[in-house]
Amino acid sequence: MPRADLFRHLFCLSLVLGFALQPLMAGNHKKKPAPDRYIQNYERKLADIEKRKQDTDKMLKQANADFRKQTERKQRELKELAEEYKQREARAQKVIKEYGEQQDSISAALKKYRFELAAKKQQQEAKVRAAEAAKKKEEAKKTAAAKKPAPKAKVDLKKREEIRKRAEESRRAHLKRFDKNRDGKVTKEETKAVLDQEAKQREEARKKPAPKKPDLERLRANYVKAQKNDQSAKGLYAKAKRAYDEARGNKKTYKVDLERLEKNCERAKKNAYTMGRALVSAKRAYEYARRK
């Protein structure tokens, strides 16, 4: 075989062997297949859902814990509020009882005064009737004595002049008292009108009682009680305001609870203002009584 053909034959043989051995050699360095992107998407979604599930579970546990804390706190606040209202009710019942006692005392005093007033009026009217009867009796005696002839006696000119002067003075005083129209005569109507007017004036003068001295001890007790009520009202207002401010700063506080605390704060504020006004009035009355 010629040399050129031999070389050509060997070259072809080497090519055939090279192609035949290439798959075997490539088996040792075979690349891994690329992962499926759909599988990766599913796995990623599963992992994301698992993480969300775990986060939600944590949130649920935290919500349960917060709910327990909120429940305990609300129960404590409700207990404190119930105790506060119980104390306020007791104080109010005590004040109502004291007012009732004062009403009973004043009613009894008024009833007694009215009874005494009616008795005095009856006595005064009886005195006026007795005075009128005595006057009529005296006038009747004078009339009867005038009709009888007076016995002649020795005339004492000096004594007679004195009697005449006294009679004239008495007559002038009588005219001055009963002669309203100044005609020199006194009628029954004028006499009755003057006596009625004088009785009315005496009644009006009697109705004007002497000013009573203020009860200093009672006013002092009212002043001390007003001080205590004012301090208590201010304390309740400060407590309600503090609870309301804390609730406003707490983001987890429910809206209903916040509104309730706000109403409690407003009521406590109004009560504190009322107690303050009552304290000022009691203090003014007590100091005025002390100055007297």
Q: Do 283 and 216 belong to one domain?
A: yes
Q: Do 205 and 225 belong to one domain?
A: no
Whether 18 is covered by a domain: the verdict is no
Q: Which two tokens stand for residue 120?
A: 């005095």
In the predicted model, what is the mean pLDDT of residues 18-33?
Answer: 53
In the predicted model, what is the mean pLDDT of residues 26-51?
Answer: 77
Rounded CA-CA distance 156/150 in Å is: 15
Domain of 174?
A: 156-209
Q: How many helices (H) and strands (E) does the chain have?
A: 6, 0
Q: Do 165 and 233 belong to one domain?
A: no
Rounded CA-CA distance 75/257 in Å is: 12
Q: Is the pLDDT of residue 124 over 70?
A: yes
Whether 48 is covered by a domain: the verdict is no
pLDDT (tens digit per residue) in 150-171? 555 555 677 778 887 788 787 7
Q: Do 236 and 283 belong to one domain?
A: yes
Confidence label for 232 from pLDDT (cuts 50, 70 and 90): very high
Q: Is the pLDDT of residue 13 over 60?
A: no
Domain end residue (candidates: 88, 118, 142)? 142
Whether 44 is covered by a domain: the verdict is no
In 39-91, at which residue ranges do the beta strands (DSSP E only) sit? Answer: none
Whether 254 is covered by a domain: the verdict is yes
In the predicted model, what is the mean pLDDT of residues 276-283?
Answer: 91
Rounded CA-CA distance 234/272 in Å is: 5
Whether 263 is covered by a domain: the verdict is yes
Q: Is the pLDDT of residue 228 over 90?
A: yes
Whether 4 is covered by a domain: the verdict is no
Whether 37 is covered by a domain: the verdict is no
Q: How many domains does the chain have?
A: 3
pLDDT (tens digit per residue) in 59-102? 999 989 999 999 999 999 998 988 888 888 888 888 888 888 88
Return the pLDDT at 177: 77
Q: Which two tokens stand for residue 237?
A: 């207002």
Q: Do 106 and 178 belong to one domain?
A: no
Q: Do 269 and 193 belong to one domain?
A: no
Q: Do 120 and 138 belong to one domain?
A: yes
- Residue 289 CA, chain-centre distance (Å), reads 26
CA separation (Å) from 255 to 81, 129, 223, 244, 259?
Answer: 18, 82, 41, 12, 6
Short-list 196, 135, 189, CA closest to 181: 189
In the predicted model, what is the mean pLDDT of residues 140-149?
Answer: 70
Whether 38 is covered by a domain: the verdict is no
Q: Do 224 and 168 belong to one domain?
A: no
Rounded CA-CA distance 186/194 in Å is: 11
CA separation (Å) from 31 to 20, 27, 37, 165?
Answer: 20, 9, 18, 166
Q: Do 280 and 238 belong to one domain?
A: yes
Q: Do 138 and 164 belong to one domain?
A: no
Q: Is the pLDDT of residue 114 over 70?
A: yes
Cβ pair 254, 289 in contact under 8 A: no
